[in-house]
Structure 1
Amino acid sequence: MNLTKRILLAMVLGISIGVLINLVAPSKEHFLHTWFAQGLFDAVGQVFIASLTLLVVPLVFVSLVCGSAALGGHSRMGPMAIKTLGLYLTTTAVAITLALAIGQLVGPGHGIDMPGEVEAFSVQEKPSLKETLVGIFPSNPIAAMAEGNMLQIIVFALLLGVAISRSEARTSQYLQAFFGHLNTAILKLVMMLMHLAPYGVFCLLAKLFADLGWGAIGDLALYFCTLLFVLLLHGLGVYSLLLKTLTGLSPKIFLRKMWSVMVFGFSTASSNATLPITLRTVEKDLGVDNRVASFTIPLGATINMDGTAIMQGVATAFIAQVYGIDIGITGYLMVVLTATLASVGTAGVPGVGMITLAMVLTQAGLPVEGVALIIGVDRLLDMVRTAVNITGDAMVSTVVANSEGLLDRDRFQQALTEDDTAPRSTEERPGDQPT
């Protein structure tokens, strides 16, 4: 059984065991919860997430230095960055527009009795646009790495890579070789962790469903199904249409190669934790050159939040309907704009969508307390949103690489094999020039 099938099997078994524990032992004081859900499963799951998170900063930094050093003297770096940002913001705007339209059409909040008292929900205040822009540039790169500030790490790695490319030939060659070998070692470490992934996925899902079961979905079934439908429509339909239109490549091959990464994202509910797996798959299986992938994937994990934007759209329509507030066409246009801009600088960690949703509701003139109405099912939907987000990152990376002539189309068309696990060296990447 190959790795993808083992991960899928682990996902099914984890959900089944979790639901079974929830049915047999609904009380969290029961020994099944204490020893297994809150004990063994939670411990193994947290170790797995910590192991993935461990790789994020070194992988992003080293890979991006390699990519920008190879591309630093190339005049296409600016246009490539503009294409990437433009595609990310466009897909986010499309996502929330689609969510608002279907949310209005289905009306998941109509007919729901407003509870007498809604539990107060407090969120951290999101920084202003000025603070966000200033915060992109690091004053201390070591502190940025310690805090996991992805935008600052990206900026520093880009500057260092460009500086290496413009250094004198001997220095540039030595440093590029050093970072290239370091990148290969980190990718090998990613592969070692991937083979342990089925156990981590099993424990994460078993613990989650032991806590929640299926009961949390019942009261908000229409909202849950509406949001799930829009997420699947965007992740499978819109991305496939864009990929086929802009590159002519097969969406079926793309989705098949991304399937195991989507399961990773679903299990971890974190774009950042899944980033090492996403980057490796985009380079190795989809054929995107490292000089593109090392920039587009980390940036996408930071600013490309299509799944979160969809949640904000459907949730805004739902909360407006529950409270009986009509915000009008102007209000919905403001929601589109606010949610699109809010995706920039939002951390790719579980539950962050609640923070940006509070800002969107405030902008639309809706009560922030409405967040408490949907928070019960948000953890499950957050997992699907993450899978959509990382699929969007990979799609945009493929499109940008194709437009820059840095996509190995033969590699993209190759069948996915379990034995083909060794990351390619710098010399094997398509488009590289000899030093």
Structure 2
Amino acid sequence: MTNFGVQILIALVLGVILGLVARNTGHTSETPNGLGTTLQIIGSSYVSLLRAAVIPLVFFAVVASIANLAQVTNAARLAWKTLLWFAITSLIAVLIGIGLGAVFQPGVGTGQEAPGAYEGRTGDWLAFIQGLVPSNFLGLSASTTLEDGSASTSVSFNVLQVLVISIAIGVAALKVGAKAEPFLSFSRSALEVIQKVLWWIIRIAPIGTVGLLGNAVASYGWTTMGSLAKFVVAIYVGLALVFLVVYPLLARLHGLSVRKFFSGIWPAFQLGFVSRSSIGTLPVTQRVTEYSFGVPRGYAAFAVPLGATTKMDGCAAIYPAIAAMFVAQFFGIDLSIGDYLLIIMVSVLGSAATAGTTGATVMLTLTLSTLGLPLEGVGLLLAVDPIVDMGRTAVNVAGQALVPTLVSKQEGILDVDRYHAERTEDLMAISPEEMDERLGTVESSTPDQAYDDASRTAADTVASATGPDADADRESVDSTRR
């Protein structure tokens, strides 16, 4: 079977070619032709498949994650360290975004007309706070629109509310104790089934890639996207700085090989790039974290799903910072120091609003609302959203795998030998069943045993280590065992 990465690259090239053919034969978003419509249907169908799995995956992943973490040694410390590193990396990313927004000035000289009148600064935190409160058990919301004299009603999920509900139910199940064990067992089983279905969806990602990229090229062309070129360049420079500088630096500071980080994260990175969904990439991200990086399965089962719903350095830090500055510059609005502090706070604290689904419109809307900037700017940026969303999501999943690795290294539970091992096979070619067999010592044990097994492995490695980091590593392992 052809390497999955090669399949993706072929799909990228084919998507661009078909998109250009459709564009040159008269396709636009207003006047579609057959080829363009076909590409749109293929791309949207693939995204719909991913979205269909989002709600059950978020719910059961969070519930199972909380149950798994409760059985791991030093669970509270692991949880707080994970959240702390999520916040630290988000803070770094949003500061990079603000700096690039000031340097590139992406909203100046775009040549576009303002889509609406600016009515003043009215932003506050109400939208964010209201979004945290579940309106019903499933986080359902409905909207009715009138078109051509007929009414249509659409139902959607508020994933942020589903996240809150999931956390509450997971904690409540732990408090109930033994009586809740059948429910927790069902949650784990349901998660396995959902991830199996999602794995099938992931395997057809090359087909979805052809449609997604082809439709973007066919619908928008280079002229429309070129008018926002500075914005796109600023976003990708920010993403490159985080992925190529910040993440490797953090890995190196923890005594981890930078080359192994890049080779290990590549399967999740490339799938995140084409799928534009952290949740859709979750099975691969977790596979990379456990199998390639050597993070104990009990801890990874908590940290990776949590990261897929809340850890968004691309979508929730770099992008909203630069996009907010773009909108402010577009409308000629000066931002104060307080406004920049609000951008930082929303990016660090509000990333759960992106919820791992495709696109970052929710996060951008939240940021603009909090700052009181015109929401018309959201529509202006939608033309290039598919292009920037690819890079945003790829950086998201890289951070979601890196943070558990760093925390595991700090706690002395990382399988360092596995992290630094040579990677000579296609990780995507290994079936879930075979993966379970290869990680059998972890799979067959409880999360608590997995933690202890990994601690012993790390201790054995550290005991024979030499160099400036060896003493610190021995202390970390010794304190963890105690």
Give yes or no for the alignment of 1:388 onto 2:386.
Answer: no
- Please state whether the residue corresponding to 2:27 is helix, strand or coil: coil
Q: Is the aligned partner of 1:107 residue 2:105? A: yes
TM-score by length of 1: 0.81
Match of 1:276 among 283, 286, 289: 283
Cα pair 2:72 2:299 within 8 Å, conserved: no
> Could you say which residue in structure 2 is the equivalent of 1:371?
378
1:424 matched residue in structure 2: 436
> Counterpart in 2 of 1:288?
295
Distance 1:87 1:314, change over 3 A: same
> Is 2:265 aligned against 1:258?
yes
Larger deviation, residues 82-91 vs 65-74: 65-74
Q: 1:72 aligns with which of 70, 73, 86?
A: 70
Give 3-state SS (helix, strand or coil) of 2:293's partner. coil
Cα gap change, 1:18 to 1:72, in 2 (>3 Å) = same
Are the aligned partners of 1:288 and 1:406 in contact in 2 as well (CA < 8 Å)? Answer: yes
Match of 1:408 in 2: 415
Deviation at 1:99, TM superposition (A): 1.0
State the one-letter code of the partner of 1:97: L
Aligned to 1:216: 224
The residue type paired with residue 435 of structure 2 is: P
**Letter matched to residue 152 of structure 1:** I
Q: Does 1:25 align with 2:26?
A: yes
Question: Contact conserved, 1:63 with 1:290, CA < 8 A, in 2?
Answer: no
For residues 180 and 129 of structure 1, the distance between their equivalents in structure 2, rounded to whole angstroms, comes to 31
Moved more, 214-223 or 316-325: 316-325
The letter of the residue matching 1:315 is: A
Q: Give 2:308's aligned residue.
A: 301
Write the deviation string for residues 126-154 of structure 1: whole angstroms up to 9, x where unpaired. Answer: 8645445544xx9847989x956234334
Say if 2:449 is the partner of 1:433: yes
Higher RCO (C-alpha under 8 Å, 6+ residues apart): 1
Alignment-derived partner of residue 89 in structure 1: 87
In the other structure, the counterpart of 1:37 is: 36
**Counterpart contact for 2:247–2:399, Cα < 8 Å:** yes
> How many pairs align?
420
Residue 229 of structure 1: how far off its partner (Å):
0.9
- Tell me the residue number matched to 1:225: 233
Counterpart amino acid of residue 341 in structure 1: L
Q: 1:98 aligns with which of 96, 99, 108?
A: 96
CA 279–427 in structure 1, closer or farther in 2 if over 3 Å, else same: same
Alpha carbons 1:228, 1:381 under 8 Å: kept = yes
User: 2:98 is matched by which residue type in structure 1?
Assistant: L
Q: What pairs up with 1:324-335 in 2 under 5 angstroms? A: 324-335=332-343
- Whether the aligned pair in 2 keeps the contact of 1:45 and 1:201 (CA below 8 Å) is yes
Q: CA deviation at 1:93?
A: 1.7
Q: 1:47 to 1:280 in 2, by over 3 A?
A: farther
Partner of 1:150: 163
Matching residue of 1:118 = 115
Q: Is the Cα–Cα contact under 8 Å of residues 65 and 305 in structure 2 kept in the other structure?
A: no
Letter of the structure 2 residue corresponding to residue 244 of structure 1: R
With 196-205 and 363-372 compared, the bigger mean Cα shift is at: 363-372
- How much does 1:109 deviate? 3.0
SS of residue paired to 1:423: helix
Secondary structure of 1:258's match?
helix
Is contact 1:114-1:323 (8 Å) kept? no
CA shift for structure 1 position 167: 3.5
Question: CA offset at residue 97 of structure 1?
Answer: 1.1
Checking the alignment, whether the CA contact within 8 Å between 1:231 and 1:388 is kept in structure 2 is yes
Q: Which residue type is aligned with residue 207 of structure 2?
A: Y
* Structure 1 Cα separation of the partners of residues 126 and 12 of structure 2: 37
Contact 2:94 2:347 in 1 (8 A): yes
CA–CA distance in 2 between the matches of 1:176 and 1:42? 40
Please, which runs of 5 or more residues in structure 1 have no aligned partner? none
Change over 3 Å in CA distance of 1:159–1:16 after alignment to 2: farther
Kindly state the Cα deviation for residue 386 of structure 1 after the two structures are TM-superposed.
1.4
Cα contact 1:270–1:348 (8 A) shared by 2:
yes
Moved more, 92-101 or 102-111: 102-111
Q: Report the alpha carbon displacement of residue 217 of structure 1 after superposing the two structures with TM.
A: 1.9
Residues 155 and 76 of structure 1, relative CA distance in 2, 3 Å threshold: farther
Q: Residue 115 of structure 2 aligns to which amino acid in structure 1?
A: V
CA offset at residue 86 of structure 1? 1.3
Which residue of 1 is the match for residue 319 of structure 2? 311
Contact 1:61 1:157 in 2 (8 A): no
- 1:13-49 Cα offsets, whole Å, 9 max, x none, are 222221232123334687xx5433323x344434433
Deviations 1:312-361 (A, max 9, x none): 2112323333333332333322322233223233332233x334334433
**Distance of aligned partners of 1:141 and 1:283 in 2 relative to their CA distance in 1, 3 Å threshold:** farther
Instruction: Tell me the secondary structure at the aligned position of residue 281 of structure 2.
Output: helix
Q: Which amino acid aligns with 1:385?
A: R
Q: Matched residue of 1:109: which SS? A: coil
Q: Which residue of 2 aligns with 1:11?
A: 12
In structure 1, how many angstroms separate the alpha carbons of the residues matched to 2:320 and 2:367?
Answer: 7
